[in-house]
Amino acid sequence: MKATKRILALTLVGALALGSAFAGTGNNGFQTGKLSGKSADAKAAIALKFMANKGDFKVIKESKDKLGTTTVRVQQYYNNVPVYGSDQIVNIAEDGVVNSFVGFTKELNLTKKIDKTVSKHEAIAIAKTEIASELIDAPKADIVVYIDGETPHYVYQMELVTEMARWNYFVETSTGKVIYKFNSITGGKPAPKMNVANTVAMTAKGVLNKDRTFNGNLNAGQYYLVDLTRGNGVYTYNANYRTRLPGTLWADMDGLLNQTADKPAVSSQYFFGVTYDYFMDTFGRDSFDDRGAQIKSSVHVGSSYNNAYWNGSQFAFGDGDGDVFIPLSGAIDVVAHEFMHAVTENTANLTYSYESGALNEAMSDIFGTAVEFYANENPDWLIGEDISGPGLGAPALRSMKDPTITNDPDHYSVRYTGSQDNGGVHINSSIINKAAYLFAQGGNHYGVNVSGQGVEAMEKVFWRALNNYMTSSTNFAQGRVACVQATTDLYGAGSSQVEAINDAFDAIGVN
């Protein structure tokens, strides 16, 4: 299989999965029931009181869903220092009762006194010696607890930004040793200010030569690909075949956008508008952060670049080489896949390695497909089939219906167990994809019969599981528990839907 098959990657938190380094409580770190008494206190205060005997925690996010549950996400601290990757969830009913807890904590074998033999400036210098390119901004360093396997360290966490990369380093405070590092792609500069009163409807052909109607903005005699009617805007940029992002805001003199080079920009502007509408219409979510975050994308990224990604601040799409892929913004499930990575970062923030990373990828495939059904864009259970070429060696990037047609595993017993692909984040995502497909469509798999419950039930269940019951370190077994609990919340303990979700995970061998 060509390496390019594994390319819809998200460069976000390149950390090691904490996994077995944490001792769980309850079933896979999951407790349900009446875990506290009623309370009229603020939900954040209830959450912190509940966590008081588990260590030192601070609230990082609070949200309330349509069922009346307030989800409070808390971050573990040790010695007033954040523990990298250790977040927990406290779910609270309207009457103040804690009805579920998701998380893992660890008694950290660290001294209270932080050994700062290596200063912050020295740590930055150590990291800079490994970076050949000139830095764009002066790096900042913060002390965190980083757990390397079973061993916790006090480290300086820092970001070093060059023209073509965004390096994150974890340098031990006592020795100056680089404990871990990862590279992500740098973000870009803000767009010119636009006025919503100048919104204009535009129609042009996208990558697949279909007419697309979308919003633009007429400003000083030029038509810009800026839609200010959705959140804080949908903006499309031209990277002009370079890797420095975002490039220049897409502008057109006559507003016709009838050149071949315009097509990827048309597709990006249109599909991000549809994707925004899906999340607003289906879940009432205002952009990927639920606060109307600006949706910024760049097309024509790199030269013959066979990739698309979310880099933590914006989206980027290559044009493909014409053999493996055509311009990647031409597929709605690819656009929505990347958007969902941003959603996941702003909800469970599933760590992008091993099983939590595979869940991260699966969520993007699941909701990329859900958006394709919502838009009625020839919906199917393939990922990226619209932009895949003969050089890919498969009909699509992945198949949720039959992962084996792209040489991906369809059962936990045949999962990839190596370290490549960040521990198989793209490869093993197909196992969870298969469970989602079975829950929606039904079928018999490995001798287990699953009754299909439809796409709407699938999206509701996985959405609630992600938002209410998954943390950054959730693995497949915990993902099953999260999905079963979400289904129970939505449909009741004795429902056919609960039976189906259990059957679906039985069918893929995740118990």
Catalytically annotated residues:
338, 426
- Each as own residue / partner, the long-range contacts of residues 217-223 (CB below 8 Å, 24 or more positions apart, any chain) are 218/255, 219/192, 219/194, 219/195, 221/253, 222/251, 222/252, 222/253, 223/251, 223/252, 223/253, 223/254, 223/255, 223/257
**Element (DSSP H or E) covering residue 166:** strand 166-172
The residue type found at 497 is Q
End-to-end CA distance of the chain: 29
* Spatial distance between the Cα atoms of 91 and 357, rounded to a whole number of angstroms: 23
Single-letter amino acid, residue 148: D
- Taking each helix axis as running N to C, give the angle between helix 476-491 and helix 496-507, from 0 to 180 degrees, rounded to the nearest 10: 170
Contact 68, 84 (CB under 8 A): no
Alpha carbon distance 156, 120 (integer Å): 7
The answer to whether 420 and 436 have CB atoms below 8 angstroms apart is no
Could you give phi then psi for residue 319, rounded to 5 degrees?
-90, -5
Contact 317, 264 (CB under 8 A): yes
At a CB cut-off of 8 Å and minimum separation 6, what does 3 contact?
Answer: none
Nearest Cα to Cα of residue 118 among 84, 147, 155: 155
As separate numbers, helices (DSSP H) first and strands (DSSP E) second, the chain gives 10, 25
* DSSP H helices in 284-427: 332-345, 354-375, 420-424
Exposure on the CB side of residue 492, measured as CA atoms within 13 A = 3
Block residue for tokens 């490549």: 420
The residue assigned the tokens 């495939």 is 365
Per the listing, tokens 């970076």 go with: 131
